[in-house]
Amino acid sequence: MKERTWRTGVALALAASAVLPACSRKKPAEINPITPSFSVNRSRAPLGSAIEVTYTWTLDPNAKKLPQDYRALVHFLDSHKVVLFTDDHVPTPPVTAWEPGKAYSYSRTVFIPVYPYVGEVQVAMGLYPAAGRGERAAMKGEDLGLRAYKVAKMEFLPQTDNIFLVYKEGWHSPEASPQNPGLERTWSKKEALVSFKNPKKDVILHLEADTNYKAFTEPPVLTVSVGGTTGLTIPIESSEVFLKKIRFKAESLGTGDWVDLKLAMNQAFVPKAVGLNQDDRELGLLVYHLYVGEADKLGNVVGVVDAGPIAAPAPSPSPAAASKTKAKPPAKPAATPKK
């Protein structure tokens, strides 16, 4: 009796297992014939370096217009398909402007974070609703899962393959970004120095930074230079993050073993002194990424400006020094002698 009951139970369970998947199976999502693709200026790059990425979205003639705003999903995955970092962003132009039968390409500079991982990396792309609600778009390509489509492979090399930067005087301690705790940034003082070993060849500097524009008494200006004579002067027009790429020729780096790179603001500010908060540090520039690479190893870099001769900046006191100097009252006019 027990054996018969067990067999009956097994038969019922097998029957149920055959029916349930059929009942719960979802209808496959309709593919919108949009093909994402990814190209990079170098497929092998060290941790901590910068790469130039071109994203392309190709719409077949029968592709459907996307009815809402989507953000681009870009995931860099290790050999176990674990996300190392992302470059999610808003496509250019926005997807609501895309037309069937056309392709849309644009480039972005991506900084590779420093992770305890080297080796092969897969790159996946996709589209997800900008509002955060709804499903990712079903597109053409090899789906790695959850509509993230494999578009490329890269190889991440050890950080030691980079030019090593030595942060000297003029820097505060690194701090985490409130919006992204995994991202460190560093405030400079009015002037700051970074040194690197002279490669005796052209280098390209990548600088991503911002500052508090409204805290300055006059429009802030940054000068990036080597040797005090060659560099670039950069007017800062807002508090938005900016990215500059500067080529320094081998001859401007000199013949010494080390090169001093100077970042100098025309002035600095103390947050406490201008009523922002209780921070009493002297602040100049907030640096997110500072990367120096040998030009011949970087491939094609978009938007590079050559360093040129610069005039020596006029000396101006730091906020700390200025606060110690009291203004003298104007001299009284000499009394007119009585006749």
Q: What is the CATH number of the domain that holds 103?
A: 2.60.40.1930
Q: What is the mean pLDDT of the chain?
A: 87
Q: How far apart are CA 134 and CA 160, in angstroms?
A: 43
Q: Does residue 191 share a domain with residue 128?
A: no
Q: Quick one: 173 and 247 in the same domain? A: yes
CATH number at residue 320: 2.60.120.260
Res. 313 pLDDT band, cuts 50 70 90 = low
317 shares a domain with 248 = yes
106-165 tens-digit pLDDT: 999 999 999 899 999 999 999 999 988 889 999 999 999 999 999 999 999 999 999 999
Q: Is the pLDDT of residue 308 over 90?
A: yes
- Residues of the chain above pLDDT 70, percent: 83
5 in a domain, yes or no?
A: no
* Of the residues 159, 194, 226, the one at which a domain ends: 159
Averaged pLDDT, 89-108: 97
**CA nearest neighbour of 252 among 223, 228, 285:** 228
Residue type (1 letter), 275: G
Q: Of the ranges 40-49, 84-93, 135-144, 303-312, which one carries the lowest mean pLDDT score?
A: 303-312
> Domain for residue 240, yes or no?
yes
Provide the pLDDT for residue 177: 82
d(C-alpha 66, C-alpha 184), whole Å: 36
Q: Among the three residues 133, 159, 185, which one is the final residue of a domain in this structure?
A: 159
* Residue range of the domain that includes 182: 163-324
Q: Does 29 score more than 90 pLDDT? A: no
Q: Do 112 and 217 belong together in one domain? A: no
Residues 123 and 232 in one domain: no
141 and 50 housed in the same domain: yes
Max distance between CA atoms of the chain, in angstroms, equals 140
Around 160, how many Cα atoms within 13 Å sit in the side-chain half-sphere? 4
Summarize the confidence of residues 43-60 as an average pLDDT.
Answer: 98
Q: How far apart are CA 19 and CA 106, in angstroms?
A: 49
Q: Is residue 207 part of a domain?
A: yes
Q: 109 has which bridge partners?
A: 52
* Residues 220 and 313 both lie in one domain: yes
- Of 144, 159, 174, the one marking the end of a domain is 159
- C-alpha triplet 302, 304, 307: angle, nearest 5°: 175
Same domain, 314 and 169: yes
Residue 301 included in any domain: yes
Question: Per the domain annotation, does 11 fall within a domain?
Answer: no
**How many independent structural domains does the chain possess?**
2
Do 114 and 216 share a structural domain? no
Q: What are the contacts of 140-148 at 24+ separation with CB within 8 A?
A: 140/31, 140/33, 140/34, 140/35, 140/60, 141/35, 141/36, 144/77, 144/81, 145/81, 148/73, 148/75, 148/124
Residue 159 main-chain phi, psi, to 5 deg: -60, -25
User: What tokens does 59 get?
Assistant: 């719409």
Does 339 map to a domain?
no
